[in-house]
Amino acid sequence: MRVAFIGTGGIARSHAPGLAKRNDITFVGTYDAVPERSAAFAKDFGGDAYPSIAELLDQAKPDAAWVCLPPFAHGEAELALAKRRIPFMVEKPISNNMDTARVILNAVEQSGILAVAGYMTRYRRSVKRVREILANDPPILLHGGWVGGTPGVMWWRIKEQSGGQIVEQTTHTFDLARYLAGEPKLVYAIGARGFIKDLPHYDVEDASSVTVQFANGAVGTLVSTCASQAGGGVHLTLAARNAYITFTGWEQSAVIRKSALEEERITGESNIFEIEDGAFIEAVKTGNLKLVLSPYSDAIKTLAFCLAANKSLGTGQPVPVESI
Ligand SMILES: NC(=O)c1ccc[n+]([C@@H]2O[C@H](COP(=O)([O-])OP(=O)(O)OC[C@H]3O[C@@H](n4cnc5c(N)ncnc54)[C@H](O)[C@@H]3O)[C@@H](O)[C@H]2O)c1
């Protein structure tokens, strides 16, 4: 399979080493707004660096592409791929706004290509096991979130670009909550500002707390902060009638308690991008769409969930997710 990368920053370099290990993959080309970055990536993994997306796609002729762009930069790449019927994997969040995501979804559906989002947590064995358990015992209460410091890339701290922490980072937890508890109906969010004063251009919330009502009546709270330089971590806890489950860490290790005496522990995988990319590659090769767990058409619902929380942060009012 001939693969191309559009956007060759941090996350592209998390996908590429696993792909490079496979004998069914050839890197044929890259594009990045910063040509030196694109050239360095091509030098490290193969193919050529192209001066535009159109030239990359028309000259390198990839069979599939990885779109690893920041939240504000989506649109041109996905539309160019859909026009040429080239399947793609796009990193989360799929955009920082619904209009762009809807235009892309429409183009993807018109062209009939496979387009998947990088919610890699869905591929973890802990998540698969918990989904089995919760299929007949739905969670009633969820609480979780993402607690840590502010990532270093400049666009992250500018709300207009990244969408803020909920849209860019805690989106993994919002997505996991949706995946395990079903669709969210209503969100109500409050945020904290003014504690981080030392970062130039910083205008995202320092912290937020989002109360969620799910369509089936379950409730939850999802918290975020990028103010904790001492760290904190990632977690999600779910309480059902017959199971109490806690995911912890980026790797989503799970402790599943079914009674005071019965506990199951599942450690998260460290090579999750290889697993996620492997599923996408197999789906492209075989046409078996069941292999991919985060199709674009589903990821757009996680974006709406996160943007509903953002809207509530702005208005101070509860926001129905379907209004987004
Ligand atoms: N799945 C995960 O766990 C995970 C982890 C990290 C980042 N991400 C996501 O990956 C995306 C990229 O993050 P990153 O950490 O790689 O950021 P980054 O800033 O390190 O890299 C982004 C690259 O895109 C390039 N770029 C920006 N605008 C462009 C444009 N219009 N056209 C072409 N290139 C452009 C930049 O020059 C840069 O090289 C973000 O959406 C982020 O949320 C996902």
pLDDT(180) > 90: yes
Helix/strand/coil for 204:
coil
Q: How far is CA 243 from CA 7, 9, 110, 274, 303, in A?
A: 41, 40, 42, 30, 28
- Domains of the chain, start order: 2-117 (3.40.50.720), 121-272+302-323 (3.30.360.10)
Mind giving me the DSSP string for 2-62? EEEEE--STTHHHHHHHHHH-TT-EEEEEE-SSHHHHHHHHHHHSSEE-SSHHHIIIII--
In this structure, of 16-30, 178-192, 249-263, the range with the lowest mean pLDDT score is: 249-263
* pTM of this structure: 0.98
Averaged pLDDT, 300-313: 98
Q: Whose CA is nearest to atom 7 of ligand 1?
A: 11
The model's pLDDT over 45-70, given as tens digits with 9 standing for 90+, comes to 999 999 999 999 999 999 999 999 99
Centre of ligand 1 to C-alpha 224, Å, is 21
The candidate with the shortest Cα–Cα distance to 235, out of 173, 305, 179, is 173
Counting from 1 in the atom list of ligand 1, the atom nearest the Cα of 7 is 24
Question: What is the distance in A from the centroid of ligand 1 to the CA of 70?
Answer: 4
What are the residue ranges of helices labelled H in 112-235?
125-134, 159-162, 165-168, 171-181
Model pLDDT, residue 184:
98
pLDDT tens figures, 149-165:
999 999 999 999 999 99
Q: Span 195-224, mean pLDDT?
A: 98
234-244 pLDDT, tens digit each: 999 999 999 99
- Name the phi and psi angles at 115, rounded to 5: -135, 125
Cβ–ligand 1 distance for 10 under 6 Å, the answer yes
Q: Kindly state the tokens that stand for 36.
A: 């030196």
Ligand 1 and 11: CB distance under 6 A: yes
